[in-house]
C-alpha cells in the first residue's frame, strides 16, 4: 500500500502554474468516494474532465461512519481512526485518477471529508478527514475544511454547490433548477435574472437506503424497483411531511442528525401493520413531494430541472418528481445533468475541485443569499504537500 502512495508523491508534486485540480467527495449516502481530475482555466472558460474514479467504502468503514452520526462511546478516538482510513481511501482514489493522466501536474486537491455531524444552529459542522495525512501520502497541496468558515460567519455551511452550479449550468434569461439527490436533497435555483438561491429540501436517498437495508439487506433500491412495487400510503406521507424543518424558510440545511433511522421509527410508530414495500413506496414519494414543494414555491418560473447525485439513477424517483411538479402546475422538463454534459456522479466532486481553485485564487466560495452568512468568504484551509 505505501509503495503506491510513494508512487503518487513522486509523480504528482504541485505545479504552481497548473490549472488542474482534483476533487474528492464522499456524501451523506456513505457509499464511497467520487473523484475527478479536471482542468479549470482561470478565465472561467470551459472545464475539461481528465479523469474520474469511484472508491467504495468497505462495509466496516460505512458502518463506523454511520455509527458516528450519533453520540457514542469513545467517539473521539474512533473518529480519528476513521479519518485516517478516509485519507487512505482518498489517496487510493487519487492514485487511480493520476494513472488516467500520468503526465499532469496537479495544483491542489479539494477534499470535502465525510460529514458526521452538521449542527450550524449550534455553530459547528464536522467533516471527518485527515488532510495532513492526505497531503503526506499524495505529495499534493490539500484544501479541506470547506464549510466551517461559512458557519463562523453565521451561515449554514451548506449547500455550497449553488455557486458552482451557477458557473457551469446557468443559461442567459432562463431559470433552471439543479437538484442534488444524495443522502440529503438540495436545490440550486439559477434565476433568469442572474441571481442564485438554494437550500436543503430534506431527505434524498437516506431514508429509502436505510429501509431497504433493514428489510432486504441491500445498500439501495436500484432504479427504485422495490418502491415501484408498493402503494403510497397517504396517511403516512402526511405524517412524514409534518416535520418542522420542511416548513422553515431558507437559508436552511439538514443532515442525518435529523433524518435518521430513529426519526423514521418514531414516524412509523402508528403504522406498524404496513407492508415494508408500501413504506418504501411512501418514502420515495416523500422525497419527490418535498422536492416538488420546494421547487414550485421558490422557482415557479423554472423551465428545466436537472438532477445529479445517486437519485438521478432512480427512475421511479425521477418519474415521481416530474409527476409531483406537474400536479403543482409546474411543467418543467426533468432530466439528469447528463443532458447538460456533466455526469450526475461527477457534479459534487467537480464542485469541490472548483472550490479548491477558488481558495488558491483567493476568491470567495460561498453565496450569502444561499447559506445566510454575513458576507462572501474564502472557504477552506491549506495543508501543503
- Give residue-wise pLDDT tens across range 288-306: 999 999 999 999 999 999 9
In the beta sheet, which residues pair with residue 113? none
Q: Please, which residues have CB within 8 angstroms of residue 185's CB and are 6 or more apart in sequence? A: 179, 200, 201, 202, 203, 204, 287, 290, 291, 311
Q: How many CB atoms lie within 10 A of CB 273?
A: 5
> Smallest Cα–Cα separation from 208: which of 359, 290, 317, 125?
317
Query: What pLDDT is stored for residue 8 in this prediction?
Result: 53
Q: How far apart are CA 88 and CA 124, in angstroms?
A: 25
| Crossing angle for the helix pair 315-327 and 276-298, to the nearest 10 degrees | 50
Q: Which residues of the chain have pLDDT under 70?
A: 1-15
Rounded Cα gap, residues 95 and 117, in angstroms:
29
The CA distance from 303 to 32, in Å, is: 33
- pTM comes to 0.93
Tell me the C-alpha distance between 212 and 134, whole Å: 34
Q: How far apart are CA 47 and CA 352, in angstroms?
A: 14
Tracing cell 442564485 back to the chain, one arrives at: 196
Q: Domains (ranges, CATH) in the chain?
A: 2-156+346-383 (3.30.420.40), 162-340 (3.30.420.40)
pLDDT computed for residue 7 by the predictor? 47
Q: Please, are residues 338 and 344 in contact by the beta-carbon 8 Å criterion?
A: yes
Name the DSSP letter for residue 225.
H
Amino acid at each position: 500500500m505505501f509503495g503506491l502512495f510513494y508512487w503518487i508523491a513522486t509523480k504528482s508534486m504541485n505545479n504552481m502554474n497548473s490549472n488542474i485540480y482534483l476533487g474528492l467527495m464522499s456524501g451523506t449516502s456513505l457509499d464511497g468516494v467520487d473523484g475527478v481530475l479536471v482542468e479549470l482555466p482561470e478565465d472561467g472558460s470551459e472545464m475539461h474532465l481528465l479523469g474520474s474514479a469511484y472508491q467504495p467504502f468497505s462495509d466496516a468503514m460505512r458502518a463506523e461512519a454511520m455509527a458516528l452520526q450519533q453520540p457514542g462511546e469513545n467517539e473521539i478516538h474512533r473518529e480519528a481512526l476513521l479519518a485516517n482510513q478516509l485519507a487512505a481511501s482518498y489517496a487510493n482514489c487519487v492514485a487511480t485518477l493520476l494513472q488516467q493522466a500520468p503526465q499532469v501536474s496537479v495544483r491542489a486537491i479539494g477534499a470535502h471529508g465525510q460529514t458526521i455531524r452538521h449542527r450550524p444552529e449550534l455553530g459547528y459542522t464536522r467533516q471527518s478527514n485527515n488532510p495532513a495525512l492526505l497531503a503526506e501520502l499524495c505529495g499534493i497541496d490539500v484544501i479541506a475544511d470547506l464549510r466551517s468558515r461559512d458557519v463562523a460567519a453565521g451561515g449554514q455551511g451548506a449547500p455550497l454547490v449553488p455557486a458552482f452550479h451557477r458557473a457551469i449550468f446557468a443559461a442567459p434569461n432562463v431559470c433552471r433548477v439543479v437538484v442534488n439527490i444524495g443522502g440529503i436533497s438540495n436545490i440550486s435555483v439559477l434565476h433568469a435574472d442572474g441571481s442564485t438561491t438554494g437550500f436543503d429540501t430534506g431527505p434524498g436517498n437516506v431514508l429509502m437506503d436505510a429501509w431497504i437495508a433493514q428489510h432486504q439487506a441491500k445498500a439501495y433500491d436500484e432504479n427504485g424497483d422495490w418502491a415501484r412495487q408498493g402503494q403510497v400510503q397517504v396517511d403516512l406521507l402526511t405524517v412524514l411531511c409534518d416535520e418542522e424543518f420542511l416548513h422553515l424558510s431558507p437559508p436552511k440545511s439538514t443532515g442525518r442528525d435529523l433524518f435518521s433511522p430513529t426519526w423514521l421509527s418514531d414516524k412509523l410508530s402508528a403504522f406498524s401493520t404496513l407492508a415494508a414495500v408500501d413504506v418504501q413506496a411512501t418514502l420515495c414519494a416523500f422525497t419527490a413531494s418535498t422536492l416538488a414543494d420546494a421547487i414550485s414555491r421558490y422557482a415557479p418560473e423554472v423551465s428545466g430541472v436537472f438532477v445529479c447525485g445517486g437519485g438521478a439513477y432512480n427512475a421511479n424517483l425521477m418519474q415521481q418528481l416530474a409527476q409531483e411538479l406537474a400536479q403543482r402546475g409546474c411543467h418543467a422538463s426533468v432530466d439528469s445533468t447528463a443532458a447538460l454534459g456533466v455526469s450526475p456522479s461527477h457534479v459534487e466532486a467537480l464542485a469541490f475541485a472548483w472550490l479548491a481553485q477558488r481558495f488558491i485564487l483567493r476568491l470567495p466560495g460561498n453565496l450569502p443569499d444561499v447559506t445566510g452568512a454575513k458576507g462572501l468568504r474564502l472557504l477552506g484551509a491549506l495543508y501543503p504537500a
